[in-house]
A = this chain, B = another copy of it.
Amino acid sequence: MNEFTAQDIEAVYRVIAARRDMRHFLCEPLDEPLLARLLAAAHLAPSVGFMQPWRFIRIRDAALRGAIHALVESERQATARALGEREDEFMRLKVEGVRECGELLVAALMDGRERFVFGRRTMPEMDLASVACAIQNLWLASRAEGIGMGWVSLFDPERLRTLLRMPEGSRPVAVLCLGRVPGFYPRPMLEEQHWAQRCELKDLVMTDYWSDAPAPPSGLPRAAPAPAATPAP
């Protein structure tokens, strides 16, 4: 009945489990047919009302890559300051591999999205959800091919949009680092570095109604500063 064999199913679960957000890369380019396969996998993602809102910009120019790295570095420092007590710990983490990775992509939402209302009249953010599904496809296909990927969201989207001469209404949502890696982390790097812990699945699944007292996520930042606009109680 099911055209996927037990071995196929096992491979799918295994790639889901082995996928990692990578920040360490070997400086080797990817070959074009491989990149084409990965992008084709992204393009097979679901999208709300079949709107296919994803756009990908390949960064080939070295100076442009450097400018993107500078944007990321600027936001890394701003994030560190916003983290307060965990600033030093955050600054010791490697959070991106923009300069080293073999292929740098920017994934973006297209402009003109307001024309699409199917599944978005009350939930306009479903276009971002669609792009995220495309990126997850790309991530899983990469992992199966032995290629690492990291999703960097440490940037000011307006500054990146301007840098890449993107039209108003479009929005970059990910700087994607792809490439060969010295090895895949056995566990998520932020777990290995004790930044946060994996929650227990049973604490995240409820029945019929929201549970009054779900266990607090174990991945909660230890020093959780409230943003200025919403002071902590």
Contacts from A to B (Cβ < 8 Å): 1-4, 7-9, 11-19, 21, 37, 39-41, 43-46, 48-52, 54-61, 64, 75, 78-79, 82-83, 90, 110, 114-123, 125-126, 128-133, 135-137, 139-141, 143-146, 151-157, 164-167, 170, 173-174, 188, 190-191, 195-196, 198-199, 201, 204-210, 214, 217, 219-221, 224-227, 230
Contacts and interface: CB of A to CB of B under 8 A. Distances in A.
Contacts of A2: 145-146
Given A45-B136, A145-B9, A205-B58, A199 B52 contact: yes
A154 B167 CA distance: 29
Contacts of A135: 129, 133
B110 A217 contact: yes
28 contacts: A4-B143, A8-B15, A9-B144, A11-B11, A13-B37, A13-B41, A13-B141, A16-B140, A43-B199, A43-B201, A49-B190, A50-B188, A50-B219, A52-B219, A54-B204, A56-B204, A57-B207, A58-B205, A90-B118, A115-B225, A116-B221, A118-B221, A119-B154, A123-B157, A129-B173, A133-B139, A136-B136, A164-B209
A227 B13 contact: no
Contact of A39 (B7, B115, B191, B205): B205
B114 A226 contact: yes
Contact of A52 (B11, B208, B217): B217
Which one of A52, A75, A135, A165 has the highest number of Cβ atoms from chain B below 10 Å of its Cβ? A52
A16 B41 CA distance: 7
A115 B199 contact: no
A58 B136 contact: no
A52 B201 CA distance: 10
A128 B129 CA distance: 7
A177 B128 CA distance: 20
